[in-house]
Amino acid sequence: MSKNTDDIYSTEKEAKRNLFVLWFGVFMAGVGFSAFMPFLPLYIEQLGHFNTSTLNTFSSITFAVTFVMTAIISPVWGKLADKYGRRPMLLRASLGMAIVIAAMAFVTNVWELIALRAIQGLFGGFISNATALIATQTPKNKAGKALGIIVTGTTSGQLIGPLIGGIIASAFSYRGTFLITGALLFLVFILTFIAVTETHKPSASSKISTEDPHPFKHLANKNLLIGMFLTTTVIQIVNTSINPIMALFVREINHTHWSTTLLVGIVAAMPGISTIIAAPRFGKLGDKIGPQYVLMGGFVLAFLVQVPTAFVSSIFLLMFFRLMIGISDATMLPQINSLLTKSVPREMTSRIFAYNQSFSSIGNVIGPIVGAVIANIFGYRGIFISGAIFIALNFIHFLTTTKEMRNKKSV
């Protein structure tokens, strides 16, 4: 009896340690994707003699290529993770990103930088496999809270990353930022190697094989999964569509004596701050009442925040609404992960989260493009109205894909 109790205690202890280490890991992975955004055009400018149009083009390519490659390769890494384990994939991704990002400090031309950013995308998969490992180690009735904690790391890393990168670049130069970020990711590799444990083994009796080219045909909730993937994409589109014009919009409504650069950093950090605080709490709430209902509340909140943001004339109101966007993300992202976890067998978890990361990366590519196009046609404020429209359409689709689930819950 005591042996069983000790085993349970040990397993819980390992799961908590994994959660702690992987939270730091996904935070740094998020930073690794976004820390260079504030100064990337300026860094590229040092690598050659470019006119404004060429510089903008190279900046866009350098930014987007990482997410494009991540979108393409993530399902491959997910399949290998389900076959050989998530821990080896975590070690591969963290070490690969550490080396590649550190190497960016030594590039001599823009093509080398683009190539390394593409390779960084190929070494992706840390976030999806960390999420999958936590999902498979946590009882499904408690998955929401644990996945909510992981979401805080991912989202805050991506949103606060530009602020961190700007601070490091100011203190240590652009090239120093790549070296420091690479060193921190190498620390993630060391911590993962030492502290992260995994006991999950693919089920030999399962009819879903890692060699099956069409594993989705066995799943009963295909429409729900597709709906969650699309929701992930929409969230990223809405979050990143403001990126191309953030500084310009802040400058337009800044009637204070504060530096526009400082205010841009604060506004950019607001969603990450509120997500860190709120995501675990909403994840726990999803475990109690059902993730689909918390997600519905997230849609409503996001819509109600996007519309008035289009009419703000105060920088402090903009900060408040961006803070609320972070809360809406906190209601939605853990619930998406929870629904994915509950809708697939354990032996497919990594592949499902890998596809979800692919759709997230697609949103990261599409968002800035959509934002730039809409800003050119309708002005800066049109971006927030378009975001509300995206959310409303996505909400309608979500209601149709979860109708059966909600009906079962109410019976």
CB 269 within 8 A of CB 160: yes
Segment 378-387 long-range contacts (CB within 8 Å, at least 24 positions apart): 380/245, 380/248, 380/249, 380/252, 381/310, 381/311, 382/310, 383/241, 383/242, 383/245, 383/310, 384/242, 384/306, 384/307, 384/309, 384/310, 385/306, 385/307, 385/310, 386/241, 387/237, 387/238, 387/241, 387/306
- Mean of pLDDT over the chain: 84
CB 47 within 8 A of CB 59: no
pLDDT at 290: 86
pLDDT at 3 over 60: no
pLDDT at 214: 56
Q: 23-64, pLDDT tens digit by residue?
A: 999 998 888 877 877 677 788 888 988 887 788 788 888 888
Q: How confident is the model at residue 13 (pLDDT cuts 50, 70, 90)?
A: confident
Phi, psi (degrees; rounded to nearest 5) at 85: 115, 155
How much is the CA Rg of the chain, to the nearest whole Å? 21
CB 253 within 8 A of CB 314: yes
pLDDT at 391: 96
Q: How confident is the model at residue 10 (pLDDT cuts 50, 70, 90)?
A: very low
CA nearest 35: which of 136, 178, 218?
A: 178
End-to-end CA gap in the chain: 39
CA nearest 314: which of 258, 378, 387, 363?
A: 258
Using alpha carbons, list the distances in angstroms from residue 56 to 138, 150, 378. 45, 34, 21
Indicate yes or no: pTM above 0.75.
Answer: yes
Q: How confident is the model at residue 364 (pLDDT cuts 50, 70, 90)?
A: confident
Q: How confident is the model at residue 411 (pLDDT cuts 50, 70, 90)?
A: very low
CB 198 within 8 A of CB 85: yes
pLDDT at 111: 95
Q: 92-116, pLDDT tens digit by residue?
A: 999 999 999 999 999 999 999 999 9
All structural domains of the chain: 9-197+217-404 (1.20.1250.20)
Q: CA 129, CA 351: separation in Å to the nearest integer? A: 9
Q: 202-227, pLDDT tens digit by residue?
A: 544 444 454 555 566 667 777 888 88
pLDDT at 123 over 50: yes
pLDDT at 89: 92
Longest C-alpha distance within the chain, in Å? 74
pLDDT at 300: 96
